């Protein structure tokens, strides 16, 4: 599936997240260098759930959904950029395309 979204960037710093900036909303640990993204909650309903791999146009490697954003955001991703505030500010806010596959739900049927 391909979507056009607004992409911003964030850092694991208290003033950008919460009092525990190294833990995502899903409970995963953040460390600089990881290729993680946070997604707006409406995108969770579109199949961009926890641990989904996504291709962000303009980047060579895949990113993993490891965080979710405040409910006020729509059609938006936030790219994790460690503690590099300058890099995040330089990225700014862009309209980009992302691609991902919807994972089938596990089911046990007899």
pLDDT tens for 41-80 read: 999 999 999 999 999 998 999 999 999 998 999 999 999 9
Residues constituting the chain: 110
3-state SS, residue 104: coil
pLDDT tens for 13-46 read: 776 766 677 889 999 999 889 999 999 999 999 9
Nearest Cα residue to 53 out of 1, 109, 105: 1
Instruction: Answer whether 7's CB lies under 8 Å from 96's CB.
Output: yes
DSSP codes of every residue in 23-71: B-TTSPBP-TT--EEEE-HHHHTTT--TT-EEEETT-SS-EEEEEE--T
């Amino acid at each position: 599936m391909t979507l056009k979204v607004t992409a911003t960037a964030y850092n694991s710093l208290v003033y950008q997240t919460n009092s525990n900036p190294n833990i995502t909303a899903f409970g995963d640990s953040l460390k600089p260098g990881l290729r993680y993204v946070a997604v707006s909650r409406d995108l969770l309903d579109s199949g961009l759930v926890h641990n989904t791999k996504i291709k962000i146009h303009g980047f060579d490697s895949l990113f993993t959904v490891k965080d979710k954003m405040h409910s006020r955001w729509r059609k938006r991703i936030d790219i994790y950029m460690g503690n590099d505030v300058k890099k995040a500010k330089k990225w700014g806010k862009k309209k980009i395309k992302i691609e991902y596959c919807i994972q089938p739900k596990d089911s046990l049927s007899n």
